[in-house]
Amino acid sequence: MTCLHLAPELALILEQFLFSFDAAEELREDISKKNHELVLLSKTNLVDENWKDSRPKPPRKPVRLHELKYAGVDVSSKLSWLRSQLANDGCSAMVITKLDEIAWLLNLRGSDIPHSPVMYAYLVVETDQSKLFIDDSKITSEVMGYLQNAGVELRPYDSILNAVENLALEGARLLIDTATVNAAIANTFKSASNNKKEYKSRSYGSSNGGSNGATAVYSSSPISLAKALKNHAEIEGMRNSHLRDAAAVAQFWSWLEAEISKGVTLTEVEVADKLLEFRSKHDGFVDTSFDTISGSGPNGAIIHYKPEPDSCSIVDPEKLFLLDSGAQYIDGTTDITRTVHFGEPTSREKECFTRVLQGHITLDQAVFPENTPGFVLDSFARSSLWKIGLDYRHGTGHGVGAALNVHEGPQSISFRFGNLTPLQKGMIVSNEPGYYEDHAFGIRIENLLFVKEMDTPNRFGGLAYLGFEKLTFVPIQSKLIDLSLLSAAEVDWLNDYHDQVWQKVSPLLDGSERQWLWENTRPLAKQ
């Protein structure tokens, strides 16, 4: 964190609910080097006071159940598992603040945040009870009965700090993930623990000889990894939702190519809106999973580009077009990028595209021993670009939730080697190498992959060996490929992939859209 350039000996006011405990402590340490003081606010919010009655109302759309056929494990089993984890860590309670962890643990989904099916809430899980802190106007009678049956009590959203204080007074050993729990909660528990006087503590088991003194146990959330390891029902939901999504994306590309060939002028925003229209017609569609990146020509080189109606470009038939998009369905989450050219690509564009494709293929085919962290695989996707002195400035893969956030941890595939989380069976990651020339074009090819165990003839060191199964089935444009650069094995991979696309997706299409899929999945001849 970079220290602000301020006059010496100033006080900086920090709204504790907006910063994790770790971020607040890092800021405190950073500014103290310049003789500044960090003042923490929790009871008062200066922005809210300035807003007064003009503050936007919080979202109040109803919370919905995430059905067991999609979740795979019922809430009672998940809560029992978490309590076992807490007991193993010598803890009696945990405050959960990550919204996707709450949604996953309780098998609930919401719509409080665009693109992410989560709801604003806190959850406290104790040895013998659980409390959900949420605006109860969002809780339907169905969800209320469901939570009661699971032993989950409702509490007002803004009463969380009082509950944390009570945990301290009762002598709880509270697990706090300092990377995610906000500073207000962590500091409230710490302060209440220090100020505890004559108060009869509840009897909690602990790992320090049975002491009932309130203690904060700083540890990473056990939910993060459990959520990343998808069960059979979650994997099936992802497979099914990806096939419906592939049909929608194929319908879209068929439409777009036809419009461009007729000389229709379309903006980047109009194209993104049309893709949303196609997706919304498919069963189980809920929302997009992020703002669609629709970039023509030089805009494709802006990695997180978002077209706006008043400033976006038209889709130029003579330039590369990059489209990165995804959707939320009731049974899964998708994320796919394809780069196409509607005219004749240059030899430079074809070489760069082909080398990105080679990296994509190399990672897709990777086989690696268990306990391998994602950063070890990152260079697989870059090697073809490195051979000619090219690279890209983003990670190669991120975790993806099952009908949850399109970006989730703890796993990743990235050049940032600080993440030592090993890839494990059941995880889902993206495979998205790219290449970008500023003010010219951008290229990215992205599929989602499911980590599975591989049947290898040997198991050196007694280890299992892992690899990937594809979830995304949409054609990769052949006209952008320089076949002279591909090996026979790489051509085989592409032909096999396109055959799978045809077999899996063609039954969901008809007419001109099915014809488009046929034309774009024909096998390529080897050089």
pLDDT for position 197: 46
Cβ–Cβ under 8 Å, residues 175 and 167 = no
In Å, how far are 312, 380, 394, 524 from 358, measured between CA atoms? 31, 9, 17, 15
pLDDT for position 87: 95
Q: How many CA atoms lie within 13 A of 13 on its CB side?
A: 8
Say if pTM beats, i.e. exceeds, 0.95.
Answer: no
Supply the DSSP string of 286-336, one letter for each residue: EEESS--EEEEGGGGGSTT----TTTPPB--TTSEEEEEE-EEETTEE--E
Strands 173-176, 215-218: pairing is parallel
Considering only CA atoms, which of 20, 93, 14, 100 is closest in space to residue 410?
Answer: 100
Q: Which amino acid is at 39?
A: V
pLDDT for position 209: 30
- Structure-block tokens of residue 418: 């600080």
Q: How far apart are CA 100 and CA 401, in angstroms?
A: 9
Q: How far apart are CA 439 and CA 380, in angstroms?
A: 27
pLDDT for position 33: 74
Q: Which amino acid is at 224?
A: S
The helix (H) or strand (E) run that includes residue 502 is: helix 488-505
Which domains can be identified in the chain, with CATH numbers? 17-52 (no CATH), 64-198+214-221 (3.40.350.10), 229-520 (3.90.230.10)
Diameter over CA atoms, the chain: 83
Supply the DSSP string of 110-174, one letter for each residue: --SBTTB---S-EEEEESS-EEEES-GGG--HHHHHHHHHTTEEEE-GGGHHHHHHHHHHTT-EE
Cβ within 8 Å of residue 445, ≥6 positions away? 337, 338, 339, 356, 357, 360, 432, 433, 434, 476
Cβ within 8 Å of residue 262, ≥6 positions away? none
Strand partners for 525: none
Rg of the Cα atoms in the chain: 26
The low-confidence residues of the chain, meaning pLDDT below 70, are 1-11, 42-44, 196-212
Considering only CA atoms, which of 116, 456, 31 is closest in space to residue 289?
Answer: 116
Cβ–Cβ under 8 Å, residues 436 and 392 = yes
pLDDT for position 445: 98
Buried b (16+ CB within 10 A) or exposed e, 49-80: eeeeeeeeeeeeeebbbbeeebbbbebeebbe
Give the Cβ contact number of residue 487 at 10 Å: 12
pLDDT for position 43: 65
Q: Which amino acid is at 1?
A: M
**Can you give 356-368 as a three-state secondary structure string?**
HHHHHHHHHCCCE
The model's pLDDT over 12-51, given as tens digits with 9 standing for 90+, comes to 777 788 888 888 888 877 777 777 777 777 666 777 777 8
